[in-house]
Amino acid sequence: MGKITFRIYKDRAFKIAVCTLSMLSLIPLFLIIIQVILKGASAINWHFFTHLPLPPGEPGGGILNALLGTFMLIIIAVILSLPLGVLTGILLSEIDNKFTASLRILVNLLQGIPSIVIGILAYIWIVVPLRHFSAFSGGVALGLMMLPMIIKSVEETMKLIPLSLKEASFALGVNYTRTILKVILPAAAGGMASGIIIGISRIAGETAPLLFTAFGNPFLNLNPLKPVDSLPLLIFNYAMSPYAGWQRIAWGASLVLVGFVFLLNVVVKTLAERWKIKF
């Protein structure tokens, strides 16, 4: 009897320890969010989203340039990495040989390369030959960062699709290409979309690879061959300035960025619920 009581207590103690420790790990997270909200909320209003930053000393000013720049960079990155990533992911999930094994290692390597190095590569490959900083070069850098994430999420989602589905399609006389495109890909679409959105939420906050590619731009620019601003670049530049007004804008931009990433994660959750496919 005594032994069992002891076990029950031990069990309870363990549960309490686990709960406390996980609470502890949440504290910094809460502190960050509270800090960002406290400092950033006061900067945010309609004006903040629709206007360009102002010179130091002038009150007000917004982040329109950085918002549009970030969207542009994300769009360029997705356009470049999505087709390549999906095709490579399909290849890796479908074919097992020495070539795909080495490809997989390369993809892992690419994922491990520090983002600043990717930025330098984009600088050498694109900025130097074109002779100026540009949204395009920034998009390439971010696309390179997204590529391995997309490849992996596609590969893993495709591998989860049961073989029986492919056989069902073959048994109806459907050829290989159509089976992949019309049976396996649609069945994997939900998982792949989640992977891509999570990839976007990761690159949205990247700063280092943009320092010498997209470069930053206090003015509105929609030309992909000219420099653009982005939220993290704007935060980086304005937070380091000595002007209180600019620092306030940096906090506001931080809140917007955190909110955007949070929103993407909510979207992924709902997508996963809605597109959940039973096999």
Partner 1 sequence: MENKILEIKNFYAGFGKKWILRNINLAIYKNKVTAVMGPSGCGKTTLVRCINRLHEISPQAVYKGDILLDEKSIFSVQPVKLRRKVGMVFQRPNPFPAMNIYDNVISGYILNGIKLSRREKDRIVEESLKRAYLWKEVKNELFKKGTFLSGGQQQRLCIARALAVEPEILLMDEPASALDPTATLKIEELIQGLKKKYTIIIVTHNMQQAARISDYTAFLMLGELVEYDETNRMFTRPSKKVTEDYITGRFG
The one segment of 50-58, 162-170, 198-206, 256-264 that binds partner 1 by CB under 8 A: 162-170
The one segment of 75-83, 165-173, 222-230, 255-263 that binds partner 1 by CB under 8 A: 165-173
The burial class, CB within 10 Å (0-12 / 13-18 / 19+), for 143 is: buried
Contacts with partner 1 in 29-48 (CB under 8 A)? Answer: none
The CA distance from 40 to 58, in Å, is 18
Contacts with partner 1 in 188-207 (CB under 8 A)? Answer: 189
The one segment of 35-43, 44-52, 148-156, 182-190 that binds partner 1 by CB under 8 A: 182-190
**Minimum distance from residue 251 beta carbon to partner 1 (Å):** 45
The three-class DSSP label of residue 197 is: helix
Q: Which residue has the tokens 């997508």?
A: 271
Beta strand ranges found along 157-207 (DSSP E): none
**Contact status: 4 vs partner 1 (CB under 8 A):** no
**Contact status: 129 vs partner 1 (CB under 8 A):** no
Find the binder of partner 1 among 174, 261, 264, 267 (CB under 8 A). Answer: 174
The CA distance from 160 to 175, in Å, is 21
The one segment of 40-48, 118-126, 149-157, 176-184 that binds partner 1 by CB under 8 A: 176-184
Cα–Cα nearest to 53, from 69, 39, 41 = 69
Report whether 69 contacts 230 (CB < 8 A). Answer: yes
**Contact status: 162 vs partner 1 (CB under 8 A):** yes
**Contact status: 159 vs partner 1 (CB under 8 A):** no
The one segment of 125-133, 184-192, 193-201, 231-239 that binds partner 1 by CB under 8 A: 184-192
Total residue count of the chain as it appears in this document: 279
Non-local (6+) Cβ contacts of 13 within 8 A are none
The number of residues that bind partner 1 (CB under 8 A) is 22
**Contact status: 60 vs partner 1 (CB under 8 A):** no
Q: Which residue has the tokens 């930025």?
A: 119
**Contact status: 128 vs partner 1 (CB under 8 A):** no
Amino acid in position 47: H
**Contact status: 182 vs partner 1 (CB under 8 A):** yes
Find the binder of partner 1 among 20, 25, 164, 270 (CB under 8 A). Answer: 164
Cα–Cα nearest to 138, from 202, 200, 226 = 226
**Contact status: 93 vs partner 1 (CB under 8 A):** no
Output 25 or 164, the one with its CB closest to partner 1: 164
Find the binder of partner 1 among 68, 116, 165, 261 (CB under 8 A). Answer: 165
**Minimum distance from residue 183 beta carbon to partner 1 (Å):** 6
The CA distance from 143 to 202, in Å, is 11
Tokens of 184: 């396996």
Torsion of CA 128, 129, 131, 137, to 10 degrees: -70
**Contact status: 137 vs partner 1 (CB under 8 A):** no
Report whether 148 contacts 110 (CB < 8 A). Answer: yes
Contact footprint for partner 1 (CB under 8 A): 162, 164-165, 167-175, 178-179, 182-183, 186-187, 189, 277-279
